Structure 1
Amino acid sequence: MWINNQSSLDDFILLGFSDRPWLETPLFVISLVAYIFALFGNISIILVSHLDPQLDSPMYFFLSNLSFLDLCYTTSTVPQMLVNLRGPEKTISYGGCVAQLYIFLALGSTECTLLAVMAFDRYVAICKPLHYPIIMNQRHCIYMATGTWISGFANSLVQSTLTVLAPRCGQRVMDHFFCEVPVLLKLACTDIHINEAEFNVLGALLILVPLTLILGSYVFIARAVMRIRSAESRWKAFNTCASHLLVVSLFYFTAISMYVQPPSSYSRDRGKSMALFYGIVTPTLNPFIYTLRNKDVKAALRRVLAKEFWVKTR
């Protein structure tokens, strides 16, 4: 039996995929490989953004913030998931669950606003190039990045507290593989309509408002690009935005499907699939999307690797 009778009554039981034991081993391998790639990709972008002087610009400052965020995002859930997939116990302590809930939600909320800030950076670069050095100076970039982190953690503090305080009447079995707001609210043994209303309002503010700003930015960007006469210049301008648009699409598709809905309508199988996608797949793909489509990042990686090789062979 996978539930250890010695587990504390304060622990939560994460069923994960225990109803499909044949899936656990391949999922463990896939998750481990994806996690290694996520670590490698995001750490590489952070290092190359700081080591290469040619990437000393607001765009890569925000990109390194996104990579650090994705690095923490996967680390907050995947190690615990790997332990539960391979071990007989499918448990997480109460404190570990609360910490995981708070950190995962804070990072997800931060990414919502950070992606909007990155869209604003592209808007200023393409639509107001002469004012770009003034608007996106170092101080303003630090203020904007700090604001995204503060807003994300403040939102998480509110939502996590409301979720944790909902009475569960001893229920501690979650049909999921990590602690998440919709899953924990399903354990509540009281009326959660107020929680759902607050959840939907905050979810709409943190997801739909930044998404609206992103779409608005790209409307102005598209209009500015279409006015460029040179086809080569138009393609270059489009190419600088394509990676960000792809990352936005991946993130917001799963976030909206998961969080802009009442937790009472939460679907177990769809919730697990979506959580796997935005908890593992998206943070793993993000650095490779930016690297494969960005000549500057690829060139910087080659320069850094060549420099390290030269130093070691001296």
Structure 2
Amino acid sequence: MALFLSENDVKKLLTVEMALEGVESAHRDLALGQALDTPRARSRLPQTVLHILQGALPAQGVLGYKAYTSNRSGNRFLVHLFDAASGQLRAVIEADYLGMIRTGATSGLAARWLARPDSTVAGVFGAGWQAEGHVRAICAALPLERVKVFSRKADKLQAFCQRMSEATGVAVEPAASAEELVRGSDLLGTVTTAAQPLFEAEWLEPGTHINAAGSNALIRQELSEAALKRCDLITVDAVPTALAEAGDLLPLLEKGRLHPRQMVELGDVIIGRHPGRTDAGQITVFESQGMAIQDLAVALRVLAAAEAQGLGVEIPLR
């Protein structure tokens, strides 16, 4: 019988370390030709949008999709897991928390592979729901001693920093300005819905790694063209996904200032097909759009943990 796992079930089971391992396995499989991923498709109505990401991890025995609706009243996420051999439904999993942790874990994975190993100070733009996963993952991935956070919503910033300090054991502190956040940071994260670049290119210091996680449409842009021109390496989840959704990169691609072959997939760095960072002084960037196979790999591990602990409700399907 298939299982239904609620948000509360997922929160009991899913850890950042589990998500990091799952996301890395998905990128490794993709680079080795052992995964399929279809970029996000959207059906738009005046009030509600349906988003669907689908893919397959045959080496891990699953295929499936994540479907979610966005509306002024909120977002609703469900991951559907199917057995790759039989096609039978294995699980339906509520995936708001899962998606937040998975998105953060992808940034954490990129930081582990692309940031300087001795990075100790991070700066994060954003103090919302997705920023929580981002902070938790980078603290798990690197030996960080301090995380600076800047947000337009100053009233929520202090509470966010206190909560993240308690969750990670790392000093998470408010930054007074965007410039203060960028300068002196070994690692930067942008986790916003900004339509205009968040910082000036000249503030970037040699050796910085940037995780850009918020710009997944042409109307969103967190990084300026000038900042991207300073980057020695531009990495992405997958080139087809970046070509469809990377709002930071699309203007450069349209103007011919960036070619798709210049973009490096994170999985190619993981398996050693591309060297990744080759010098401590390089500025690197990872553009994160999100992929179905990331959700499927994490959901599969949550399902295994649920089965081991006897959590979930059986779905009465034949």
Fold match by TM threshold 0.5 = no
Q: Identify, as 1 or 2, the structure richer in helix.
A: 1
Q: Which has the larger radius of gyration?
A: 1
Q: Identify, as 1 or 2, the structure richer in strand.
A: 2
Greater RCO, CA 8 A, separation 6+: 1
Given the two structures, how large is their TM-score scaled by the length of structure 2? 0.26
